[in-house]
Amino acid sequence: MTPPTPALVGLAVRLARIPWRVTHKVLAAHPAFAFEAETHGTQTPATIAHWLQQQVLRVNPGAYWPTHHSSVVTNPRNILIGVETSPGLMPGCYVQGIGTISIGDYTQIAANVGIISANHSLEDNRAHRPSHVEIGAYGWIGMGATILPGVVLGDFTVVGAGAVVTRSFPEGHCVIAGNPARLVKKLDPQACVRHRSAHEYHGYIRKEDFADFRARHLAV
């Protein structure tokens, strides 16, 4: 399965002028929109309503995953998301792809989270110094946390609400919290569950189609 094409975007624009129930029924019948039914009930459901908001109303239009209208995603070409991971799906997030960002499978991101991949130059605040942020699989980034450039977080890293993460915890399997974030608890790797969903999607893109999508559209 491939993502909806520009022709389908045009169809969606036309359908947006008629009642929502009709629009939804027409689009849901198309195989390109199978993501709604197949991600229903998952941690990050991708809906046709989200897709229309992004493609028709042009709210974070470049993001290939569902986002909330109050979240901001910049340079999504530089952002690699795993299966069932949608940074900015919750309200008030800022996901800055001036540098590069990669996030592993099944990592969940709460509201008002900032993920920053570039800082301003100290000598010239018009310029940015790009870096890379890497967040592992099966993590949880709590509400209001900020992940700063250069940070690497391993699998099963839980970031407490309001934390400011200034350094890396590449080993993962831990809880970190505070400003600056520090280790507050280690997790037993044997107790950590690597669950899988029946249908796996990177945002709106089915897993088996994602390698091709990444090669054609992403810079990371």
Neighbours of 98 (CB within 10 A): 17
Q: How many CA atoms lie within 13 A of 126 on its CB side?
A: 0
Q: Is 50 a catalytic residue?
A: no
Taking a C-beta distance cutoff of 8 angstroms, is the pair 66, 203 a contact? yes
Phi–psi pair at 110, nearest 5 degrees: -80, -175
Q: Catalytic one among 30, 40, 120, 217?
A: 120
In DSSP terms, 81 is beta-bridged to: 103
3-state secondary structure 105-153: CCCEECCCCEEECEEECCCCCCCEEECEEEECCCCEECCCCEECCCCEE
**Separation of alpha carbons 170 and 116, rounded Å:** 17
- The CA distances from residue 98 to 58, 112, 150, 215, 217, in Å, are 20, 19, 12, 19, 16
Q: Tell me, what amino acid is at 215?
A: A
Give me the numbers of helices (H) and strands (E) for the chain, helices first please: 5, 18
Point out the residues that are catalytic. Answer: 120
